């Protein structure tokens, strides 16, 4: 089969399409013939040696959809020929609130979805939501799951919330926007791109802020959120996270799942005086994944930025690295 392989570190330019042996499903697993896969920033971080536990050579990719092609021993469902999406999170503990430290994600350390075939535990495959194209379905898994847990499970969003989403445009933050609008909340987003802000507005954002043309964006955000957001979902860390704590209203929830902007220097006063809930999260439980898929069964559609042929995987990865995308970058495997 053909697969995108990473044999050495140093950046996305080291991704190569190669012919390798097709895997066989072990007991309890299914073999999925992949039609579409999608990038996460995680994939790019791995190429740059910015992720723990890297073992090479490896086929990257956490997101994908396709067709069940074969069963391992002890497996009879889903039936062969079923169109499926894959939950990339393995080894979640029995407690839905606690991530198992020994858990892992498809695409590292085990081979992932940037290939014509991939093996996964049968428990990790779900019927593809009806009404979604393969491009849309492949865009959902890791980013959609992370955003679902951040917004609903940890963030406890309601229609009465005023939500601030810093740095809209990434895969996860775009899902957060979709979910918050779906929940009926008022949503304010920031970005350094007017094009992304216009797209966010079209997707239902109530107000937008360009942090490049508004250097003190947090002051504007406080006004646009009626005195401060009641829910913040942040992936930036750094000064952005610190400012979000400062402007959050009394009793707000501030959810963080990333730190691309580095460590944050925060004021404890902003937290204890306002009785803030500061909530960490990453990925999600099987119940989160199932609940997320129900949203897409109900008509919600993910945002697909661009679809690249498998042979243009380096260009696809470089678009993610540059942060130019709005939504998900997809790879056409078949």
Burial class (CB in 10 A: 0-12, 13-18, 19+), 106: buried
For 2-140+302-332, which CATH class? alpha beta
CATH topology identical between 2-140+302-332 and 145-280: no
Size of the chain, expressed as the number of residues it contains? 334
Question: What six digits make up the tokens of 140?
Answer: 């959902």
Per-residue pLDDT of the chain (334 residues; tens, 9 = 90+): 999 999 999 999 999 999 999 999 999 999 999 999 999 999 999 999 999 889 999 999 999 999 999 999 999 999 999 999 999 999 887 787 777 767 789 999 999 999 999 999 999 999 999 999 999 999 999 999 999 999 999 999 999 999 999 999 999 999 999 999 999 999 999 999 999 999 999 999 999 999 999 999 999 999 999 999 999 999 999 999 999 999 999 999 999 999 989 999 999 999 999 999 999 999 999 999 999 999 999 989 999 999 999 999 999 999 999 999 999 999 999 8
Question: How far is Cα 101 from Cα 287, in angstroms, rounded to an integer?
Answer: 18
Question: How far is Cα 208 from Cα 198, in angstroms, rounded to an integer?
Answer: 8
Q: Tell me if 221 sits within 8 A of 164, measured CB to CB.
A: yes
CATH architecture observed for domain 145-280: 3-Layer(aba) Sandwich (3.40)
Q: What is the pTM of this model?
A: 0.96
Question: How far is Cα 303 from Cα 175, in angstroms, rounded to an integer?
Answer: 8
Q: Tell me if 253 sits within 8 A of 277, measured CB to CB.
A: yes
Q: Tell me if 165 sits within 8 A of 181, measured CB to CB.
A: no
Write down the domain spans for the chain.
2-140+302-332, 145-280
> Tokens 């085990």 map to which residue?
110
- The SS3 assignment for 231 reads strand
């Amino acid at each position: 089969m053909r697969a995108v392989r990473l044999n050495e570190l140093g950046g996305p330019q080291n991704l190569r399409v190669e012919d390798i042996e097709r895997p066989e499903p072990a007991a309890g697993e299914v073999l999925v013939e992949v039609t579409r896969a999608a990038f996460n920033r995680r994939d790019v971080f791995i190429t740059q040696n910015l992720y723990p536990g890297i073992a090479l050579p490896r086929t990257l990719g956490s997101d994908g959809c396709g067709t069940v092609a074969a069963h391992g021993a002890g497996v009879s469902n889903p039936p062969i020929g079923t169109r499926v999406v894959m939950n990339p999170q393995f080894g979640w503990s029995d407690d839905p609130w606690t991530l198992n430290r020994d858990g892992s994600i498809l695409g590292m350390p085990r081979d992932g979805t940037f290939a014509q075939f991939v093996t996964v535990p049968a428990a990790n495959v779900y019927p593809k939501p009806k009404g979604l194209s393969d491009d849309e379905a492949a865009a959902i898994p890791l980013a959609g799951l992370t955003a679902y847990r951040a917004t609903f499970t940890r963030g406890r969003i309601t229609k009465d919330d005023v939500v601030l989403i810093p740095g809209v445009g990434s895969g996860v933050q775009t899902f957060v926007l979709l979910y918050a609008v779906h929940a009926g909340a008022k949503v304010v987003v920031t970005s350094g791109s007017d094009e992304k802000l216009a797209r966010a507005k079209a997707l239902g954002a109530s107000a937008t802020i360009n942090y490049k043309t508004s250097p003190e964006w947090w002051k504007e955000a406080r006004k646009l959120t009626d005195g401060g957001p009641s829910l913040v979902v942040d992936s930036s860390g750094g000064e952005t996270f610190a400012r979000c704590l400062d402007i959050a209203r009394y009793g707000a929830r501030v959810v963080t799942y990333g730190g691309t902007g580095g460590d944050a220097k925060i004021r404890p006063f902003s937290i204890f005086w306002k009785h803030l809930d500061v909530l960490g999260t990453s990925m999600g439980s099987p119940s989160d994944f199932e609940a997320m898929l129900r949203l897409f069964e109900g008509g919600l559609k993910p945002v697909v930025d661009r679809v690249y042929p498998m042979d243009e995987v380096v260009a696809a990865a470089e678009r993610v690295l540059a942060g130019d995308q709005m939504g998900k970058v997809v790879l056409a495997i078949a």
